[in-house]
Amino acid sequence: MSNTLPPLPYAYNALEPFISEEIMTLHHTKHHQTYVNALNAAEAAFAQASTTKERIALQAALKFNGGGHINHSLFWQNLAAPSEKGGSGGVLKDGPLKEAVIASFGSLENLQKEFNTTTAGIQGSGWGWLGVNPSTKRLEITTTANQDPLLTHIPVIGVDIWEHAFYLQYKNVKVDYLNAIWHVINFDEAQKRFVDATSGSKL
């Protein structure tokens, strides 16, 4: 059972003032660690299960905790210190991703507006996604519930819409969190994923 908590690629306070050090510390060391521990436990139980019924009974735990581990691992890479503090967060440079954003949404501002509206509408917990449609190779916005990983599209940007991602700082005002997160989105990482997704090998 080899799932482990990946280290953050920046300090816990690197995303301030947009995401607080307290949120990042708890989110990474407590929430994500719990998904890793529970996934390892579920995988160990699955390996030892001797009947089909026992294996079926573990499916929900594997999906929930496996999805939680995959989604959070992607999410940390997805973020970077804001440009206001000398980081690359929030800056969409000229390149293939920017061209695709303009082709699909007209502008980055339109993408952000549509993304925020769509994800603000998630009922309960879930994730907002900017992903590549494997058929059209175009960027699309979609959501998943709970900790379901994105399977219909290739993820380019994923945003955690669970309350544990924002409540300590933004309380119930989800839209403030959504507006803030764009200041720390790592568009360089997003472009890398976009290029990988549209290069042909994964489609």
Binding residues for Mn(2+): 27, 72, 160, 164
Q: Measured from the CB atom, is 16 or 160 closer to Fe ion?
A: 160
Applying CB under 5 A, among 87, 115, 139, 160 the residue interacting with Fe ion is 160
Whose tokens are 């568009």? That residue is 187
- How far are the Cα atoms of 146, 174, 187 from residue 162, in angstroms, in the given order? 8, 10, 22
Q: Among the candidate windows 83-91, 154-162, 175-183, 194-202, which touches Fe ion by CB under 5 A?
A: 154-162
Asked if 189 touches Fe ion (CB under 5 A), the answer is no
In the chain, which ranges are E strands?
126-132, 139-145, 154-160
Q: Among the candidate windows 98-106, 113-121, 160-168, 188-196, which touches Fe ion by CB under 5 A?
A: 160-168
Applying CB under 5 A, among 129, 162, 166, 170 the residue interacting with Fe ion is 162
Alpha carbons 56 and 54: distance in angstroms, whole number: 5
Alpha carbons 172 and 175: distance in angstroms, whole number: 9
Alpha carbons 201 and 36: distance in angstroms, whole number: 29
Structure tokens at 70: 């995959």
CB of 149 to Fe ion, least distance (A): 13
Total binding residues for Fe ion by CB under 5 A?
Answer: 3
Q: Measured from the CB atom, is 18 or 194 closer to Fe ion?
A: 18
CB of 70 to Fe ion, least distance (A): 12
Alpha carbons 164 and 12: distance in angstroms, whole number: 15
Alpha carbons 108 and 92: distance in angstroms, whole number: 8
Alpha carbons 10 and 88: distance in angstroms, whole number: 12
CB of 57 to Fe ion, least distance (A): 25
Q: Measured from the CB atom, is 74 or 139 closer to Fe ion?
A: 74
CB of 82 to Fe ion, least distance (A): 20
Q: Measured from the CB atom, is 80 or 100 closer to Fe ion?
A: 80
CB of 98 to Fe ion, least distance (A): 28
List, as residue ranges, the binding site.
Answer: 27, 72, 160, 164
Q: At what angle do helices 96-105 and 108-120 cross, to 10 degrees?
A: 70
**Interface residue list for Fe ion (CB under 5 A):** 160, 162, 165
